[in-house]
């Protein structure tokens, strides 16, 4: 089976830190990706976690706990341009390139 939970909307102020949580139920779980999508734009890849722990890419970090079926995206030093929708997308073993996106989390960054 497959289920995915993310908050629908998060609001934060410029310069702050925000964490977007993702819990999943994915048969044969393999890894967790994160994507960003600005209004009217295409989703763009942010990060991938195949192993437990933290992956850091500049201001963005992503965490995975396979035992808890949980991950999060951490955005630091928020900027106005970070206002966008963020999607976690688990993949399963041997379902090549079948990514399970959900409805995503809309992040609103306020001045």
Partner 1 sequence: KAGVTQTPRYLIKTRGQQVTLSCSPISGHRSVSWYQQTPGQGLQFLFEYFSETQRNKGNFPGRFSGRQFSNSRSEMNVSTLELGDSALYLCASSLSFGTGGPNTGELFFGEGSRLTVL
Considering the complex, state which of residue 100 and residue 109 has its C-beta at the smaller distance from partner 1: 100
Instruction: Return d(Cα 98, Cα 7) in angstroms, integer.
Output: 22
The residue within the footprint of partner 1, chosen from 33, 71, 84, 86 (CB under 8 A), is 33
Q: Which stretch binds partner 1 (CB under 8 A): 16-24, 42-50, 67-75, 76-84?
A: 42-50
In eight-state DSSP terms, residue 36 is: E
Considering the complex, state which of residue 41 and residue 53 has its C-beta at the smaller distance from partner 1: 41
Cα separation of the two ends of the chain: 41
Instruction: Return d(Cα 111, Cα 26) in angstroms, integer.
Output: 37
What part of residues 50-109 is at the interface with partner 1 (CB under 8 A)?
Answer: 50, 87, 91-104
- State the Rg of the chain over Cα: 13
Query: What is the three-class DSSP state of 80?
Result: helix
Residues near partner 1 (CB under 8 A) are 30-31, 33, 35, 41-45, 47-48, 50, 87, 91-104
């Amino acid at each position: 089976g497959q289920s995915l939970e993310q908050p629908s909307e998060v609001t934060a102020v410029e310069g702050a830190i925000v964490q977007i949580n993702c819990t999943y139920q994915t048969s044969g779980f393999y890894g967790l990706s994160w994507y960003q999508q600005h209004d009217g734009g295409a989703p763009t890849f942010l990060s991938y976690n195949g192993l437990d722990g933290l992956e850091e890419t500049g201001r963005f970090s992503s965490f995975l706990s396979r035992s808890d079926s949980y991950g999060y995206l951490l955005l630091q030093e928020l900027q106005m341009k970070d206002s966008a929708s963020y999607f976690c997308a688990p993949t399963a073993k041997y379902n090549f390139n079948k990514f399970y996106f959900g409805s995503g989390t809309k992040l609103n960054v306020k001045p």
